Amino acid sequence: MQQASDIDLMDLDPFVAGEDGALFRRLRDEDPCHWNDEANGPGFWSLTRYEDIKAVAGDWQTFSSAQGTQIESRRAEGHGKPSIHNMDPPRHKLLRNLLTSEFTREGVSRMEPRAREVVTEHLDALVAAGTTDLVATATMQIPILVFGTMLGAPKEDVHRLLEWTNVMSGQSDPDYGADPAVVERVRHEVFDYFHELTEARRAAPQEDLISVLVQGEVDGQRLQRDELDPYYLVMLVAGNETTRNMMTGAALLLHQHPEERERLKAGLVTPRQAIEEVVRMVSPIVCMRRTATRDVELHGKQIKEGDKVVLWFTSANRDERVFDDPDRLILDRTPNKHLGFGRGPHFCIGSHLARLEGEILLEELVRRDLTIEVLGTPERLRSNFFRGIKKLPVAVRSASGCPVGAHG
């Protein structure tokens, strides 16, 4: 058997196969501060236990985000200042605060009618199709249509935003953006697009996020292009990819745990409870990276100043030391202090919007008495950063168990 010390988390095959959980279980038990070599990098430390990850994520003074938050740095030179992802307080907090009020539970509640409209339209499309790919027909579309409205992008541009998101979030997957030239072209297209919207909102502000950013001030100064560009890029990907994967994951989990699906349909569990457990189980963001600002000892290992330290949230959310029966879906799990939205200064600003969209999807499935039956193996994104599913063949069934729609 492979030694835990030899586990390579840069090997994407277990993530594509959905078999990485066994690796993380071994690391939690045998090597919770695990050194991982990199073919094209200096290597990194992997933290896999809940309490370690929780502590490190909250300690930005010792574990900084300023040198990058993905294992391999993906920041392109010549594209402005760092994004809020790659930044520490106090500057991070000042920039984040520009949008904080927009993303509170109360702030996103104004998006509920739009979210319900979009979810309903796509459930109609699933019903009409009968048998289809859940991702292409519904879960890929819903988040970008909702967030696009909040962002301020015209409806007719949403398909372009979706294509750009796929490339930017799937850089390690050959189906999307493995070619660096393609990634670079898309990045330029994104910036050019948002430059036009920026000028339009400066001239005539509206009730959208772009207007908030271009009109907002930090230390008495409005953001310039080199600060707006990375902000837009982060919002575009974060506002779509994670919610898409949460929704697709929800359908797969409910199929795999029919007893929990029936409890949800019977009203024994609320959608709000259920979506928290879905986020724990899916962990849409698999990991985040930090960089040590000083020498630290952890589990008998010497982390040196400048070393990369990777926080595997997906492992923390399955840690047996915190969660009973962690690989089982328990929709009303209590307590459920998962780290699916991160922890500390970089806690996901869009968590309430993601929750809202997920809750509405579950509410509408229950209200319409629909069951999404998975017909084949999910085709997973080739990534150890996003927990993505590219394709998921499904049939939508009514309460009677029969397919519904045009092909039923």
What are the boundaries of each domain within the chain?
4-397
Q: Closest Cα partner for 101 from 110, 90, 112, 92? A: 110
Cβ neighbors of 249 (< 8 A, separation 6 or more) are 278, 281, 282, 284, 387, 389
Spell 367-378 as b/e; 16+ CB within 10 A means b: eeebbbbbeeeb
Kindly report, residue by residue over 169-198, the tens digit of the pLDDT.
777 778 776 678 888 898 899 999 999 999
Do the beta carbons of residue 85 and residue 236 sit within 8 Å? no
Please report the pLDDT score of residue 407 as a whole number.
35
Q: What is the DSSP letter of 4?
A: G
| Distance from C-alpha of 125 to C-alpha of 396, rounded to nearest angstrom | 10
Residue numbers of the chain with a pLDDT score lower than 50: 76-78, 401-403, 405-408
CATH superfamily of 4-397: Cytochrome P450 (1.10.630.10)
Please report the pLDDT score of residue 60 as a whole number.
98
Please report the pLDDT score of residue 398 as a whole number.
77
Please report the pLDDT score of residue 262 as a whole number.
97
Burial of 140 (0-12, 13-18, 19+ CB in 10 A): buried
Kindly report, residue by residue over 111-165, the tens digit of the pLDDT.
999 999 999 999 999 999 989 999 999 999 999 999 999 999 998 998 899 889 8
